[in-house]
Amino acid sequence: MRYFVRRLIHSVFLLLGVSVLSFLFLTMAPGNFFDEMRLNPQISPETIAALRAQYGFERPLPVRYVRWLESVVRGDLGYSFAYNLPAAPLLWTRARNTLLLTGLATLLAWLIAIPAGIWAAARKGRAGDQVVSAGTATLLAVPDVLLALGLLLLAVRTGWFPTGGMFSVGFESLPLWAKVKDAALHLALPVAALVVATLPVLVRHVRAAMVEVLDSPFVRAARGHGIPRRTLLFRYALRAAANPLISLLGFSIATLLSASLLVEVVMSWPGLGPLLLEAILARDLYLVIGAVMFSTVFLVIGNLFADALLFASDPRIRTQEAPLK
């Protein structure tokens, strides 16, 4: 229990630190939404001054941060000036879409990376291992944005997949099976871009962890006792290599989340990425901070999940956390 309490305390301090830095950098940046309003001759200076006072922009920066933090505790993330709506409903709708995209990409990437890494490790130094190493090195050299643009170009040229959005026009009138197919086709390209972007790193780490375990004395002894190859790989070696891979899970979630913001913009997926870009361009302070905080919360939850798996799989952690008698 102490292990999880410490992790939760670290997470709270991380969220507070991100919120302070985000609020500080955005408020100290030159210009804001009201400066953009001054360019509109139809809006009087008195109206702008009243709006600044209404939203607390005349208060000192520490007071504004504390007021914002108090509102966050109550579930109010502020007001979006650009959309003229509360920020929380906007962010929650987009965050669900980002979570769906990132969750599917994480699941698929690991489902491919684990068997591919094991297969390459079992053939260390042979042709299959060299092919996997060359393929992952090639994919690592390609920028994420180029991968997304390449898949988008493929969709445009072939017409096999939609090139943007989450659903087609008239989605609500489609039968159930057609709705599932339409949603899957819209998900295919952004998920594929994220999987291809993160897969090389995962495959290389799985291979490295498995190679180290397969060279260990207990595996050689098990091999000498005639344990079948499949059982040796998936029951013994993979279990022994699980701890570094679980630690990698938190890192992979962070990588996928950051990549998803870019992929969403390129492929017009209605997630946090396009919303964050629009908010930055419009200098919509509370919407930008809310999007950053949502992304940080996803990252924290992913790392806490990885910590829980590591606690369950590694008896050394449980032994260290056990009370002394």
* Among the four given CATH numbers 3.20.20.70, 1.10.3720.10, 1.10.10.10, 1.10.630.10, the one describing domain 94-314: 1.10.3720.10
**DSSP codes joined into one string, 94-131:** HHHHHHHHHHHHHHHHHHHHHHHHHHHHHTTTSHHHHH
pLDDT at 320: 63
Mean pLDDT over residues 262-289, rounded?
A: 84
pLDDT tens figures, 88-113? 888 888 888 888 888 888 899 889 99
Mean pLDDT over residues 69-96, rounded?
A: 84
pTM: 0.78
- The structural domains of the chain, with segments of one domain joined by +, span 2-87, 94-314
Show Cβ contacts of residue 88 under 8 Å, excluding neighbours closer than 6 positions: 75, 76, 77, 290
- Based on the number of CB atoms within 10 Å of its own CB, is 177 exposed (0-12), middle (13-18) or buried (19 or more)? exposed
Mean pLDDT over residues 146-170, rounded?
A: 76
Mean confidence (pLDDT) of the chain: 80
Are 194 and 101 spatial neighbours (Cβ–Cβ below 8 Å)?
Answer: yes
pLDDT at 323: 53
Nearest Cα to 198, choosing from 254, 146, 241?
254
pLDDT at 321: 57
pLDDT tens figures, 161-179? 777 777 777 777 777 878 7
